[in-house]
Structure 1
């Protein structure tokens, strides 16, 4: 059974982004994988997701703030 690699990548990315959004403390492994899978066009949505998580957390993760910085600088 052949699958379109881009569809498979997109499905995996969507699943991981949903998990990151729902998990108050997503794993660095999951976030590393997402960042490897992102296309240039998908980065702004991921940036918004991280910004939202940081805003909602009283004491945001330093590593998450650094990830966000690396994406926007």
Structure 2
């Protein structure tokens, strides 16, 4: 099994998700696709969408039992 290629763009990320979608739960795919859509709408992470993307990423982490450290 080869390594997962490095993602350099949103289209790379979308292709990666499509290639490995069988390994992801529907919930994970849904959240990841929401993150990608938000970034595509805004041209990446911007001041206006940073909090929205952060909430989506925290939701993804929580869904998978990953503890995200809080900033001090």
Same fold (TM over 0.5): no
TM-score per shorter chain, which class? 0.3 to 0.5
